Amino acid sequence: MEIGKQPTEQLLDFCFKTLNKALFEMSQNKAESDRKVLANILMNDLNDKFFRLTAADVTQAFHKGVREGEQLAINPRTWFNWLNKQKMKTNKLRIEQSQDGERLLIESNAQNIDKEEVLKEFLELCVIEPFEDHCKGEDITFQGINQAFQWLELNNFIVLTTKDKEQMWEQVQEEIVARKKFVHNKRKQFHPVIMCREKALRMNFGKWKKAKKNLRKEIYKILDNRQDYEK
């Protein structure tokens, strides 16, 4: 079960125990009062930023972080790095599962798969949450670029003229030539179409942030209208 966005005593206790274990494994001592403060901060971070993770995901992130991370102390910056890595991993799996679910629905007309829920989860993971992170000034890594771009363009969130696309294509070709000068692996492949679409996403994210666009609300409205129409 996902952690969710609501703080609870159970979650706080989980955070306290998780931190205690990590501190013990790293041979660090902190006063109980400090550990309680850190547990509250961790809970708030989980509710705000990592609410899609499960308790098992968090446990795994700390387990790997203690053993593989370069940080020598546990603090919010430390666990943000650990949890972000775990979030990217779990999101990738969720996106693949949603894509598999949609393909299964198309191929078999399976009734137990809700196509709208599959689409909603994909858009949350690949568009809405990255945009909200971008608005907070955080670095973002796009996933599911092709499908995200195609949906946004189809629904008129992204509007590019033929001239815009031609200019973007030329820019990407120049970027590829420049990057190849610093790449030792001659087999490394560059995908200009994906690079163009990522460039378009970043450009529009910047515009939407400046315009204070409520992307979540606007996307949900389109999805709700589709459901009402299909009923």
Each residue's pLDDT tens digit, 125-153? 889 999 999 999 988 888 889 989 999 99
Examine the pLDDT at 164 and tell me if it is beyond 70: yes
Examine the pLDDT at 111 and tell me if it is beyond 70: no
* pTM for the model: 0.65
Type and span of the H or E element at 174? helix 162-180
For residue 1 the two structure tokens come to: 């079960």
Examine the pLDDT at 226 and tell me if it is beyond 80: no
Q: Are 41 and 68 in contact (CB under 8 A)?
A: no
Q: Where are the domains of the chain?
A: 9-108, 141-230
pLDDT given at position 101: 53
What is the C-alpha to C-alpha distance for residues 56 and 78, in angstroms, rounded to an integer? 18
- C-alpha R_g of the chain: 21
Examine the pLDDT at 118 and tell me if it is beyond 80: no
Distances (CA, A) of 24 to 12, 36, 44, 76, 78: 18, 15, 22, 17, 16
Q: Terminal CA-to-CA distance of the chain, rounded, Å?
A: 30
What is the C-alpha to C-alpha distance for residues 191 and 189, in angstroms, rounded to an integer? 7
Average pLDDT of every residue of the chain = 86
